[in-house]
Amino acid sequence: MDDKNTIFKLQKQIDRLKNSIKKERYGLVWMDVPEAFEDDVENKLPILKEVPDLAIKNDDKKPTHILIEGDNYHALTCLNYTHKGKIDVIYIDPPYNTGSDGFRYKDKRIIIKFPDGTEVPKDHPFRHSYWLSFMKKRLELARDLLTDEGVIFISIGKDELDNLMLLSKEIFFEKNFIDILPREQKTGSNQGTFFAPQLDYILVIAKNSEKLKQFVLDRGLMDSIDEKSLYQSSLDPLRGCVNQRYWIECPDGSFIIPPGKNYPIIKDSEKIRPETRDDKVWRWSQVRYLAEKENIVFKKTKKSPLINQDLKPSKWNVYSSKPKSKTMLPRDYIFGFTNSMGTKELDLFDLKGKFDNPKPSELIKYLISIINIKKNMIILDFFAGSGTTGQSVIDYNDDNNLAHQFILITNNENKIMEGVCYPRVERVINGYKKVLAKGNSLKYYRTAFIGKNSILDASDEDKVELAHNAGFYPN
């Protein structure tokens, strides 16, 4: 009976403490689970050792990039020796912690039911605590690497979106949390329980929002995304297209309209309802067309799908125009860069099927393009995966005559570095089948360990050994 009373009293005390935490603190609270590394790793200083045999050298005056093989926690620790405050942009695509994406966490404690280092299932009692403990240490190291004008982009899914938002605000402070960008990651899927999932998200966080320069949208990129014919043949005219069938006047005074069986009077703006599915419609409503009339482009063509006022094929086609200004603010969503594009890119390098759901290089190029920091930046990705960020930086440099440098970090679990990331970067540099060589150079490093103590307890002897082994510096 006494034992039961003791347990009851302790439970009441725990409940009071929980309520006190809820009342007294706003923010993210979780059980911070210690992460286990190998004993020699935990008790020694991490360094980066160059692997000369995997280096790529080209005398083309293009940047020398860096690949680091090893646990990203140790690699980030090393970069804080050499690159602290020097990284301009970070993009990472960490595990989404869906319960089936392969996320592993090495629990330093002894747990029988959930052994050390296995994949974390969805019903794991510490699933979110593991992930938060894992991310917190790495984001704190990443924060210290950024310049004062720097920015970090983090891709994430719904499972950890809320937690990551609060964690980022805790580490970077709320004033530096810039935005969340929904991204169309796939199209056409009909999986799911109540809704078919199509989106993931990109968090945008500044090192110091007061020093972060305004983002800009490149005009050329905007053209490639938004220039579309105003005629949309695939729209069902009887499903909500009430004001989308009307005449448009061309530069020569003629009028054009999509094909159909019924035609409104040219000057009558009231009777523009399509009557059958043969009455095709414009992509825009008449109201939007009139509002954006100055941003319309007419092009002569021999095979226009449109009809003129004589009910004959027109000489004109009509398009939404290019933006008049050279730059504009990017939108707070990202559509058009789906993961299927990334899968097709891997196929170009004969790497199809070796990495699930790769991000497309066009997505990373888009993020690089909106940054307005300086001409030649250092761009870090410490969840490098298939090496998308490396290809993106090289391609973007080549397209714009720039010299951004990338640093990619990934371990070699399932041979991801030696079998996917390194071959992809090498084939972008040297060319592969139908992929033209882009040049650039590459240095390859692996994490290693020296000394007899961790960084917190480093002796003078450890520091001397570290100095002798330090040979990794920014270009």
- pLDDT score recorded for residue 465: 63
Comparing C-alpha atoms, which of 428, 434, 431, 365 is closest to residue 402? 365
167 and 135 Cβ atoms separated by less than 8 Å = yes
Which of 25-34, 41-50, 299-308 is most confident? 299-308
Predicted confidence band at 39 (pLDDT cuts at 50, 70, 90)? Answer: low
The more confidently predicted of residues 466 and 137 is 137
Residue length, the chain?
475
Work out the average pLDDT over 368-383. 88
The C-alpha atoms of residue 88 and residue 212 are separated, in whole angstroms, by 11
Comparing C-alpha atoms, which of 133, 103, 108, 106 is closest to residue 120? 103
- pLDDT score recorded for residue 225: 42
The more confidently predicted of residues 189 and 412 is 412
Q: Return the H-helix or E-strand segment holding 47.
A: strand 45-50
The C-alpha atoms of residue 281 and residue 18 are separated, in whole angstroms, by 60
For the chain, give the percent of residues with pLDDT over 70: 82
In our burial notation (b when 16+ CB lie closer than 10 A, e otherwise), range 99-129 reads eeeebebbbeeeeeebeeeeebeeebebbbb
354 and 346 Cβ atoms separated by less than 8 Å = yes
Would you state the structure tokens that stand for residue 417, as one six-digit string? 């570095």
332 and 179 Cβ atoms separated by less than 8 Å = yes
Would you state the structure tokens that stand for residue 403, as one six-digit string? 């010299």
Overall fold of domain 39-222+328-469: Rossmann fold (3.40.50)
Tell me how many helices (H) and strands (E) the chain has. 13, 16
In the predicted structure, residue 434 carries a pLDDT above the cut 80: yes
Predicted confidence band at 194 (pLDDT cuts at 50, 70, 90)? Answer: confident
Predicted confidence band at 428 (pLDDT cuts at 50, 70, 90)? Answer: very high
Work out the average pLDDT over 441-466. 75
The C-alpha atoms of residue 447 and residue 411 are separated, in whole angstroms, by 10
Angle between the N-to-C axes of helices 388-400 and 422-430, in degrees from 0 to 180, rounded to the nearest 10: 20
- pLDDT score recorded for residue 76: 95
pLDDT in tens, 145-158: 999 999 999 999 99
Contacts of 197 (CB under 8 A, 6+ apart): 158, 186, 189, 191
In the predicted structure, residue 223 carries a pLDDT above the cut 50: no
The C-alpha atoms of residue 317 and residue 305 are separated, in whole angstroms, by 8
The full set of domain ranges for the chain reads: 39-222+328-469, 229-321
- pLDDT score recorded for residue 392: 96
